């Protein structure tokens, strides 16, 4: 197993379930998500106990999901509520998944329901604070989600994969620092007095700043279990304090990455960007989203090809250089969480 199941993962966004149920595989579990009449989101196994039909092909009635094959009415707890002309008391229960709508996402706990505590959902300051704006999207990628952890915890690749947007030569000429604090891994890189690349020049203009002067640029990557990566990124006019510069002298954003395993070899990539400048400008939000979508699609080809190579050569050991420390330390935390879920564990 390459992922912990006792964890909160982003499963989908509200727009994906508002019109009709959504069938999606998360951590190898086929799940039907739907919005109940009471507004709450529910998630049950996508398997009708009657004949195995896919419940997500059905429709919502009150707080229940009606199977689109023979009309079995499934409750949000996995217990059959009713079925025309049938006594359903003895019907087998299906799995129901703890699910929470928060911060503009639907979060699901694919593991043992009794261990799910909504208080443990990763706190997202920017999602609740009106001084921030957010835009994002979703990609399906045919790779082990841990390859994306590596990718995001080492931004050296921007110089190569994203050379026309956010990449610049100074990135891979500047050493990174990586440290682990409990279950939190932080990798940072600071580049002073450099020219901003195109994506950041556009953001400078978006905040009414000149785009033709040297800047101080920073990247601070934060990994948190199970596989959420928030990256503080930004540029300030050079010499104004960099990361700590006054808001009027910089543009500052958080790159938001929720990596959700679909299967062992495929993943859902929820990506986005939160910013705290010019937050009412919805055109700017759309423009940043489009730019980021293009940039992040460049990673897809690289990671899917890497995945194929690794499957062909499972015996090969990859190198773990200093630039890889962010991924390596993050994977150690993942490995520990996965091991803790294995049956041989005697005490928690």
The 3-state DSSP class for residue 195 equals coil
**Residue position matching structure tokens 């699609």:** 297
- Residue 267 is given by DSSP the state E
**Span from 50-58, 193-201, 250-258, 285-293 in contact with a copy of itself (CB under 8 A):** 50-58
Query: Cα–Cα distances in Å, from 109 out to 27, 290, 318, 348?
Result: 10, 30, 31, 19
Query: Quick one: 30 or 102, whose CB is closer to a copy of itself?
Result: 30
The residues, ordered by sequence, that sit 6+ positions from 33 with a Cβ below 8 Å of its Cβ are 11, 12, 16, 17, 21, 22, 23, 24, 41, 42, 43, 56, 99, 106, 108
Q: Residues in contact with a copy of itself, total (CB under 8 A)? A: 49
Per CB under 8 A, 66 contacts a copy of itself: yes
Query: Quick one: 20 or 313, whose CB is closer to a copy of itself?
Result: 313
Helix (H) or strand (E) holding 256: strand 250-263
Query: Quick one: 69 or 243, whose CB is closer to a copy of itself?
Result: 69
Query: Quick one: 47 or 277, whose CB is closer to a copy of itself?
Result: 47
Q: Which residues 288-327 are close enough to bind a copy of itself by CB under 8 A?
A: 301-302, 305-306, 308-310, 312-313, 316, 318-319, 321-324
The residues, ordered by sequence, that sit 6+ positions from 13 with a Cβ below 8 Å of its Cβ are 104, 105, 106, 138, 270
The tokens describing 329, both together, are 């330390």
Residue 215 and residue 239 in contact, taking contact as beta carbons nearer than 8 Å: no
Cβ neighbour number for residue 348 with a 10 Å cutoff: 5
Exactly one of 21, 78, 98, 172 binds a copy of itself (CB under 8 A); which one? 172
Per CB under 8 A, 39 contacts a copy of itself: no
Its sign, for the CA torsion 66, 69, 71, 72, is negative
Q: Which residues 3-32 are close enough to bind a copy of itself by CB under 8 A?
A: 30
Binding characters for a copy of itself, 231-270, by CB under 8 A (x = yes): ----------------------------------------
Phi/psi at 313 (5° precision): -130, 65
Q: What angle do CA 81, 83, 85 make, to 5 degrees?
A: 135
Provide the minimum distance between the beta carbon of 173 and a copy of itself in the complex, in angstroms, as a whole number: 6
Exactly one of 5, 24, 35, 50 binds a copy of itself (CB under 8 A); which one? 50
Query: Quick one: 39 or 175, whose CB is closer to a copy of itself?
Result: 175
Provide the minimum distance between the beta carbon of 159 and a copy of itself in the complex, in angstroms, as a whole number: 6
Query: Quick one: 249 or 324, whose CB is closer to a copy of itself?
Result: 324
Provide the minimum distance between the beta carbon of 244 and a copy of itself in the complex, in angstroms, as a whole number: 26
* Cα atoms in the Cβ-side hemisphere of radius 13 Å centred on 346: 0
The residues, ordered by sequence, that sit 6+ positions from 151 with a Cβ below 8 Å of its Cβ are 157, 299, 302, 303, 327
**Span from 1-9, 53-61, 114-122, 232-240 in contact with a copy of itself (CB under 8 A):** 53-61
Q: Which residues 82-141 are close enough to bind a copy of itself by CB under 8 A?
A: 83-86, 91-92
Exactly one of 5, 24, 35, 157 binds a copy of itself (CB under 8 A); which one? 157
Query: Quick one: 50 or 228, whose CB is closer to a copy of itself?
Result: 50
Q: Name the residues that contact a copy of itself, by CB under 8 A.
A: 30, 46-47, 49-54, 57-58, 66-71, 83-86, 91-92, 150, 154, 156-157, 159-161, 172-173, 175, 301-302, 305-306, 308-310, 312-313, 316, 318-319, 321-324
């Amino acid at each position: 197993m390459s992922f912990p199941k006792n964890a909160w993962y982003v499963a989908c966004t509200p727009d994906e379930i508002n019109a009709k149920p959504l069938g999606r595989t998360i951590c190898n579990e086929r799940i039907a998500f739907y919005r109940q009449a009471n507004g709450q989101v529910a998630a049950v196994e996508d398997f009708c106990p009657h004949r195995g039909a896919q419940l997500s092909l059905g429709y919502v009635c009150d707080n229940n999901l009606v199977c689109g094959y023979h009309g079995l009415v499934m409750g949000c707890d996995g217990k059959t509520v009713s079925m025309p002309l049938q006594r359903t008391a003895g019907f087998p229960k299906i799995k129901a998944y703890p699910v929470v709508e928060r911060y503009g996402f639907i979060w699901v706990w694919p593991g043992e329901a009794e261990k799910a505590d909504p208080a443990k959902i990763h706190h997202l300051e920017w999602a609740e604070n009106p001084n921030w704006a957010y835009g994002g999207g979703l990609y399906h990628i045919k790779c082990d989600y841990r390859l994306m952890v590596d990718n995001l915890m080492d931004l050296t690749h921007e110089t190569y994969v994203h050379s026309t947007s956010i990449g610049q030569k100074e990135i891979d000429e500047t050493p990174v620092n990586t440290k682990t604090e409990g279950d939190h891994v932080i990798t940072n890189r600071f580049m002073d007095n450099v020219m901003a690349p195109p994506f950041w020049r556009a953001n400078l203009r978006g905040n009414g700043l000149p785009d033709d002067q040297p800047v101080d640029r920073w990247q601070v990557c934060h990994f948190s279990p199970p596989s959420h990566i928030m990256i503080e990124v930004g540029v300030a006019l050079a010499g104004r304090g960099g990361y700590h510069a006054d808001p009027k002298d910089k543009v500052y954003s958080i790159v938001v990455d929720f990596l959700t395993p679909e299967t062992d070899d495929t993943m859902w990539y929820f990506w986005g960007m939160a910013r705290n400048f010019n937050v009412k400008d919805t055109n700017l939000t759309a423009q940043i989203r489009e730019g980021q979508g293009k940039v992040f699609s460049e990673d897809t080809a690289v990671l899917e090809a890497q995945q194929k190579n690794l499957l062909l050569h499972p015996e090969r050991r990859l190198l773990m250089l200093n630039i890889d420390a962010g991924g390596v330390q993050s994977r150690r935390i993942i490995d520990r969480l996965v091991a803790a879920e294995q049956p041989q564990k005697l005490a928690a």
